Structure 1
Amino acid sequence: MTLAFIRHGQTDWNRDGRLQGSSDVPLNETGREQARAAERMLTDWPWDAVVSSPLSRARETAQIIADGLGLPLGPAYPELVERDYGPLEGLPDTEMMARYPDRAYPGAEPLDEVVERCLAGMARIDADFPDQNVVIVCHGTIMKYTLIRLTGHRVEAILNGTVSAIERDADGWRVLTINGEPIRTAEER
């Protein structure tokens, strides 16, 4: 099974550097172009389904990708919604990161809970699409920390409209790409 995590395309809040979280902010035109670019990155792999978070920016990105791949848009999974930043949503992200470098934002959903929620969503996707290759359109924070937990691979940031793919084998999950860049194993270096 291969999963391609794609961070939704850009929104005005992304462009303006605002904490977005679970707020339902739509894509902007740059975000739509990023979704089309992500779809082009996926054309070399065989995909069986495209699913997403229910937030509009993820659904629209997923619809653009599904259309480009000639697949129907699959379900939205509430477990894939971005981290809830509570009262900090909409505030400048650089200011919040400077004030809270450990990302323990007051009133925000704990990161461990975000990852557990994503893993539950992945289990549902696996049950709905057993042993199939699935494109999952969701959000930066949930992707970053879930990828770190699953693979142990260091991930600095997840960029809008990029593909971060992982593959499950007998030993667990292996990173194929982060932000569209292939990851080489120690043997390949």
Structure 2
Amino acid sequence: MELLIIRHGESEADLLGVHEGRADFPLTELGEKQAKRMAAYIEQHYPPNIILSSPLIRANRTAKILEESIGCELIIEQDLMEFNNGVLAGLSREEAAIKYPLPKDGRPAHIPIQDGESDLEFRFRTDNIFHKVFFDYQEYERVAIVSHGGTISNLLKAFLKQPMNNEFIFATGDTGIHLLEIKGNHRIIRFLNKQEHLHKEEDKD
């Protein structure tokens, strides 16, 4: 079983400099182009048998563009949503720093942000959806997952069986692609954060 994990394209929040998380911003014009380039690349090289997506607009739109290109089924999975950042969603970083400053040594992993979730709850949610994908969709040869940066980082940690408290973060650029494989007792990383579909197109523009 292969997992093709994809981040959404550029969203309007990226241009506004706000905390995104559960704030539901759409893709920008560039984000739409990025998603189309990603979809064309995946159609040619790594076509999935099924697509799973976060319901948030930026990810769902990216997934729909992929669905239109591939022609396979698209299923919404609620647990693929980004970190629930509660009161910070949609706030500018400057306003958030004034209204809801972080504690001196950071927020403890078990304490949720106001109206949101804790780091522990976030990690448990992503572990849960990782195992659900593995068991519920194991009849598919290749499953595409369209989600968000923080969620993808935690999915990679779940794949690698990393502990909750560690210093590693897996970055994913706009429409970055990760390809993982589960083969018997082996977990294989084929590649991480591939974005050549963007760079090749930029060279042609």
TM-score scaled to structure 1, two decimals?
0.81
Q: 1:17 to 1:135 in 2, by over 3 A?
A: same
Cross-structure match for 1:169: 183
Letter in 1 for 2:63: A
Number of the residue aligned with 2:131: 123
State the match for 1:187 in structure 2.
Answer: none
Secondary structure at the counterpart of residue 124 of structure 2: helix
**Residue 145 (structure 1) aligns with:** 154
Note closer, same or farther for the CA distance 1:7–1:95 as it changes in structure 2 (3 Å cut). Answer: farther
CA distance in 2, matches of 1:157, 1:22: 19
Q: Does 1:56 align with 2:65?
A: no
Note if contact 2:79-2:125 (Cα within 8 Å) is conserved in structure 1. yes
Aligned to 2:165: none
Question: TM-score if structure 2 supplies the norm length?
Answer: 0.75
Distance, in Å, in 2 between the alignment partners of 1:25 and 1:168 is 33
> Percent identity among equivalent residues?
26
Question: Which of 159, 162, 177 is the equivalent residue of 2:173?
Answer: 159
Bigger Cα Rg: 2
Counterpart of 2:173 in 1: which secondary structure? Answer: coil
Task: Single out whichever of 22-31 and 118-127 deviates more from structure 2.
Answer: 118-127
Distance 1:31 1:127, change over 3 A: same
Q: C-alpha separation between the residues in 2 aligned to 1:11 and 1:115?
A: 24
The answer to whether the Cα contact below 8 Å between 1:3 and 1:165 also exists between their aligned partners in 2 is yes
Aligned to 1:179, what secondary structure does the other structure show? Answer: strand
- Verify: 1:111 aligned to 2:111, yes or no: no
The superposition leaves residues 27-60 of structure 1 with CA deviations (integer Å, 9 ceiling, x where unpaired) of 1211111111221332312421111011121111
Q: Are residue 68 (structure 1) and residue 82 (structure 2) matched?
A: no
Identify the residue that residue 82 of structure 2 maps to in structure 1. 82
Pick which of 99-108 and 10-19 moved more: 99-108
43-52 vs 99-108, greater mean Cα deviation: 99-108
**1:135 matched residue in structure 2:** 144
How far 1:140 moved relative to its partner?
0.7
> Aligned-pair RMSD on alpha carbons?
2.8
CA distance in 1, matches of 2:50, 2:137: 8
For 2:59, give the aligned amino acid.
A
1:33 corresponds to 2:33: yes
Partner of 2:194: 180
CA distance in 1, matches of 2:22, 2:16: 17
Equivalent residue number for residue 18 of structure 1: 18
Structure 2 distance, partners of 1:46, 1:28, is: 25
Counterpart of 2:32 in 1: which secondary structure? helix
Q: Does the C-alpha gap of structure 1 residues 13 and 102 become closer, same or farther in structure 2, counting only changes over 3 Å?
A: farther
Cα drift, residue 62 of structure 1: 0.4
Shift of 1:156: 4.1
Unpaired runs of at least 5, structure 1? 183-189
